[in-house]
């Protein structure tokens, strides 16, 4: 029998499958909440400060008043009690429970806070990391505030499902002008003549934590960065394409809509950044526990 996942629901540790939430929770009714996903390597939370800062920013923009330092303490405690060594942590904060009305309920309900820890068996993208992932393109039909990490993910789910049905690992979301914005749950980078291109930050993309790390690693490695969206018409001209994300790490893409990128194999710049990413994980594991 598999071990039940450990959750922390509003400060109470319990098995995840025993957590119960009211149907009047505004996350359930409206998708009114924010979330984070963190990677756990060697029992430690990777890029914890960056994720906590983004959670603060998302909740501020959503005007949900939650005690994020307390959530961070509970996250650390729940991880320690879970015994998980390799895995992911999920955090979600909704505006809480109140009679259904669109405007914020008078008197502000208590936010509902969920944390759970899930082990990962091996590398979920192990094969694709070696051979390269296949992706498809699909129109970006999301709302105008994708910089907020909100639990409203219906357009992302539909895009990811379309990708899965086509035998692809990810869907690239394309704006009306042909600009590739980001993936359904990843950030997107192109490589051309040794330089990397990525979509500039703005309301239309999530400021990916892994994206930020990769940009710092590129600067350290002397790889030039162009903050510019890649257009679908440019896909035939670029040398490499890769995705970044908390669970996908640095993932090479070798085909888009069935057409090869570059020579159809993971390229050297992507490989170098993937190796540097691993080195940062190793440095964290070798350093003092935070
Ligand atoms: N998704 N873009 C979108 C739309 C995302 O949902 C994510 C992450 C990313 C990558 O961000 P980061 O490097 O901070 O993980 C980009 C998470 C993993 C998820 O929803 O499961």
Quote the tokens at residue 28. Answer: 């359930």
Q: Which residues, listed in sequence order, are joined to residue 118 by a DSSP beta bridge?
A: 88
Q: HSE on the CB side for 81, CA within 13 Å?
A: 17
Q: HSE on the CB side for 220, CA within 13 Å?
A: 12
For 138-174, what is each residue's pLDDT tens digit? Answer: 999 999 999 999 999 999 999 999 999 999 999 999 9
Please state whether 114 falls in left (phi above 0), alpha (psi between -120 and 50) or beta: beta
pLDDT higher than 60, residue 246: yes
Query: Atom of ligand 1 at shortest distance to CA of 206?
Result: 2
Q: What is the arithmetic mean of pLDDT over 259-281?
A: 96
Q: Does domain 126-284 have CATH number 3.90.79.10?
A: no
pTM of the entire structure? Answer: 0.97
How far is 22 from 24, CA to CA, in rounded Å? 5
Best residue among 174, 187, 244, 273 to mutate for probing ligand 1's pocket (most ligand atoms within 8 Å of CB) is 187
CA of 185 relative to ligand 1 center, distance in Å: 4
User: Going by C-beta distance under 8 Å and a sequence separation of 6 or more, which residues neighbour residue 28?
Assistant: 21, 22, 94
Best residue among 34, 35, 37 to mutate for probing ligand 1's pocket (most ligand atoms within 8 Å of CB) is 37
Structure confidence at residue 23 (pLDDT): 98
Quote the tokens at residue 54. Answer: 């983004």
Options 3.30.70.20, 3.40.50.10440, 3.30.470.10, 3.90.230.10; CATH for 6-119 is 3.30.470.10
- Only one residue has tokens 């790390």, namely 213
Nearest Cα neighbor of 145 from 87, 205, 102 is: 205
Structure confidence at residue 124 (pLDDT): 83
For 204-225, what is each residue's pLDDT tens digit? Answer: 999 999 999 999 999 999 999 9
DSSP symbols for 184-209? SSSEEEEEETTEEEEPPPSTTS---H
Q: Which residues are catalytic?
A: 149
201 lines ligand 1 (CB under 6 A): no
- Only one residue has tokens 């194999």, namely 265
Structure confidence at residue 144 (pLDDT): 97
How far is 97 from 111, CA to CA, in rounded Å? 8
Q: HSE on the CB side for 251, CA within 13 Å?
A: 26
The ranges assigned to domains in the chain are: 6-119, 126-284
């Amino acid at each position: 029998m598999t071990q039940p996942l450990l959750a922390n629901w509003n400060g109470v540790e319990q098995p995840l499958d025993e957590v119960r939430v009211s149907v009047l929770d505004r996350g359930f009714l409206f998708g009114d909440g924010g979330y984070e996903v963190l990677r756990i390597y060697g029992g430690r939370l990777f890029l914890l400060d960056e994720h906590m800062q983004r959670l603060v920013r998302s909740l501020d923009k959503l005007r949900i008043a939650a005690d994020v330092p307390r959530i961070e303490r509970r996250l650390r405690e729940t991880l320690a009690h879970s015994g998980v060594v390799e895995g992911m942590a999920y955090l979600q904060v909704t505006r809480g429970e109140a009679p259904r009305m669109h405007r914020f309920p008078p008197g502000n309900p208590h936010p509902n806070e969920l944390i759970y820890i899930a082990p990962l068996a091996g590398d979920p993208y192990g094969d694709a990391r070696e051979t390269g992932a296949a992706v498809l393109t699909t129109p970006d039909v999301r709302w105008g505030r994708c910089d907020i990490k909100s639990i409203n993910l219906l357009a992302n789910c539909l895009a990811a499902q379309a990708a899965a049905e086509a035998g692809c690992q990810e869907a690239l979301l394309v704006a009306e002008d042909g600009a590739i914005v980001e993936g359904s749950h990843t950030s997107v980078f192109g490589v051309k003549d040794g330089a990397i291109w990525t979509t500039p930050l703005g309301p239309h993309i999530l400021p990916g934590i892994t994206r930020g790390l990769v940009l710092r690693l590129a600067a350290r490695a002397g790889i030039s960065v162009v903050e510019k969206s890649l257009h679908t018409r440019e896909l035939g001209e670029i040398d490499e394409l890769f995705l970044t994300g908390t669970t996908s790490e640095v993932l090479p893409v070798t085909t888009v809509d069935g057409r090869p990128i570059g020579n159809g194999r993971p390229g050297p710049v992507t490989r170098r950044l993937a190796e540097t990413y691993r080195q940062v994980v190793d440095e964290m594991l070798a350093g003092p526990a935070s």
